[in-house]
Amino acid sequence: MSSSRTSVRQALSGANEDRSQTAACNSAVVYGAVARRNPSRGDYKTITIVAEYSSFRGNFATVMHTCMARLDPAREHATVFTVDEFQVVCTCQNDLIFGLISARGAKSGFNEGVLGRVQEEFEAVFGEEHDEESAAAIQKAFAPKLKQIIEHASSHPEKYDKVRRAQLQVSAIKKLMADNIEKVMQRGESFEAVEAKTAALYTEAKEFSDGGSQLRRRLCWQRLWSRALCYALGVAAVVLLALFAAHMAGTFTNG
């Protein structure tokens, strides 16, 4: 980071040529920028600043480019580089990087609030079609908006701290709602599973009941057939005995 510190000192030296400008730097956003990289080629270090603004003199683009090249693309939160009385704050969103240089005493909520506003305005202007625009076209279209945001933030820093808090609250509410929706969906899947199991148990119970009824009917018919067979055998035995007795009686009579 020593080379970065030297670069920042050199870049900011032009902004400290007189006391009035030094005082202004200590209470303002010194520089703001939007950069773009080309992840489709697998190169996350090649960064192009497509829009920038500063009301002070200095090689701020070089400093910002150096800090942006050190960023982790997977990091979700803002990254802060502190050098002397200044801080460089950057945040990533897909292939875009939003950054600003502000006084070291600026609150993190203020810096992130300004970056959040820049990000919202950039998305409002270009949406997801910024890849189709050249750096010169983006600079021409967005630099005035960037200037407006930076000047307003420097004049009313307390508003951007509140904006950041509101943004965090909105993000927390969105996350809570998403979690609740996911839980409801999971609960719905659980209800569906319970309903499926209940339906399966009902089907099995009905099949068992139907099978039991059929078995009872079969056993009943078997008992009826058994009784009928017994009655038939009994009648046949009686008839045979009667015939045998009659035959024997006739034999004795003839004898």
Cβ 32 vs Cβ 146: under 8 Å: yes
Looking up tokens 């499926």 gives 196
* Cα(133)–Cα(166) distance, integer angstroms: 32
CATH topology for the 2-155 domain: Beta-Lactamase (3.30.450)
At 139-152, the pLDDT tens digits run: 999 999 999 998 88
More confident residue, 210 or 240: 240
pLDDT (0 to 100) of residue 170: 77
In the chain, what are the domain boundaries?
2-155
pTM of the model as a whole = 0.56
Measure the CA–CA gap between 135 and 47, rounded to whole angstroms: 11
Q: Which of 134, 119, 143, 113 minimizes the C-alpha distance to 31?
A: 143
Place 3 in a pLDDT band, splitting at 50, 70 and 90: very low
DSSP class per residue in 102-142: EETTS-HHHHHHHHHHHHHHHHHHHTT-GGGS-HHHHHHHH
Averaged pLDDT score across all residues of the chain: 76
Q: Is the pLDDT of residue 7 over 60?
A: no
Q: Is the pLDDT of residue 18 over 50?
A: no
Crossing angle between the packed helical segments 135-155 and 108-126, to the nearest 10 degrees: 140
Structure confidence by residue, pLDDT tens digits, 34-87: 998 875 555 556 888 999 998 888 788 888 888 888 888 777 778 888 877 788
pLDDT value of position 32: 93
